[in-house]
């Protein structure tokens, strides 16, 4: 088995020297013992006040060294080792790792888990984290969730907002309710339970975009409050921005660009939100877009309202 110590790492597989004033922290690694591939685990924690020194790859291990200056006490510094892939073969090259990611590299992530119907799964960490992606993009990832009746202007706002942010050099992506049903959610109907699953899937995808540092704009009716709140709970606090298109039903029905209200009134569409299925308005949304003196704002003005919120809350800078 690979031998570990405060001064060096060695064994039948490989040999590497670690600075004398650094100790070793092994989260999860593989070594050979009598020709068999085995896993060993040692957790020593990360002492405070350490500075990142370097990172290297060694036979499928990422070795990140943290030193406490000239102090020779092995407990004042360490080298963090993480196995790079879960199969014990073909290690993948990794870059250096910033010390700000130490919290994200918690050893508990390496435990086998059961999530839903998925068993024996392990969370795979990467040396490039959300903070680094946001710094690259010069923005903060978030989800702008635009909700409201059909015809309330959700897609219009989403496209105008995306254009304004694009002109500012900000990266966005729109998850439009109808568009997502062309692919990912094409197996779902408009029954209550399928609508809930539709929202859940879009929420999970939106969360991934936000984690990538992208400003994700989700535009869909999402009529049920509990489903929207469940999506909010998926994201870090403050990064789910709910925008309520508070337009009267008669205005939305008068627009009826898709002809859906007419079909619903004729009984040709069942379970249509606002006609024979309820819409539950948000209780504590971040932004409300509504008429002023009976006049609807222009797409540009609506987008500017959202952009102002993003600016005020620091989303347009890293």
Q: Active-site residue numbers?
A: 222
Q: From residue 30, give the alpha-carbon distance in Å to each of 34, 89, 109.
A: 13, 10, 17
Separation CA 235–CA 205 (nearest Å): 11
Sheet holding 15-17, edge to edge: 3-4, 8-10, 15-17
Pick the closest to residue 146 from 272, 274, 282 (CA basis): 282
CB 246 within 8 A of CB 288: yes
End-to-end CA separation in angstroms for the chain: 44
Separation CA 16–CA 60 (nearest Å): 13
Beta bridge partners of 235: none
Separation CA 317–CA 134 (nearest Å): 8
CB 153 within 8 A of CB 243: no
DSSP assignment of 208-267: HHHHTT-EEEEE-----HHHHHHHHHHS-TT-EEEEEEE--HHHHHHH-TTSHHHHHHTT
Burial label for 293, CB within 10 Å (0-12, 13-18, 19+), is exposed
Burial label for 112, CB within 10 Å (0-12, 13-18, 19+), is exposed
CB 139 within 8 A of CB 182: no
């Amino acid at each position: 088995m690979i031998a570990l110590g405060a001064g060096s790492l060695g064994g039948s597989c490989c040999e590497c020297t670690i600075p004398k004033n650094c100790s070793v922290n092994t989260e999860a690694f593989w070594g050979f013992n009598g020709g068999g591939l085995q896993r060993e685990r040692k957790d020593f924690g990360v002492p405070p006040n350490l500075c990142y020194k370097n990172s290297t790859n060694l036979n499928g291990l990422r070795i990140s060294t943290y030193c406490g200056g000239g102090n020779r006490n092995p407990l004042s510094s360490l080298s963090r080792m993480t196995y790079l892939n879960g199969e014990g073969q073909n290690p993948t090259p990794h870059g250096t790792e910033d010390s700000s990611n130490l919290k994200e590299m918690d050893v508990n992530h390496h435990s086998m888990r059961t999530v839903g119907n998925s068993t024996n799964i392990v969370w795979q960490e990467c040396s490039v984290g959300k903070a680094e992606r946001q710094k690259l993009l010069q923005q903060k990832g978030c989800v702008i969730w635009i909700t409201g009746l059909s015809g309330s202007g959700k897609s219009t706002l989403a496209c105008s907002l995306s254009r304004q942010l694009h002109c500012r050099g900000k990266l966005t992506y729109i998850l439009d309710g109808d568009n997502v049903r062309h692919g990912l959610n094409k197996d779902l109907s408009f029954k209550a339970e399928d609508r809930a699953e539709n929202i859940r899937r879009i929420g999970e995808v939106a969360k991934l975009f936000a984690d990538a540092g992208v400003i994700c704009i989700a535009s869909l009716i999402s009529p049920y409050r509990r489903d929207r709140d469940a999506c909010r709970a998926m994201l870090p606090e403050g990064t789910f921005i709910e925008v309520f298109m508070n337009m009267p039903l008669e205005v939305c029905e008068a627009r009826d660009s898709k002809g859906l209200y007419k079909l619903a009134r004729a009984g040709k569409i069942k379970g249509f939100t606002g006609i024979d299925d309820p819409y539950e308005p948000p209780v504590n949304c971040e932004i409300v877009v509504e008429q002023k003196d009976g006049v609807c704002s222009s797409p540009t003005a609506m987008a500017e309202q959202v952009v102002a919120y993003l600016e005020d809350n620091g989303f347009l800078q890293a």
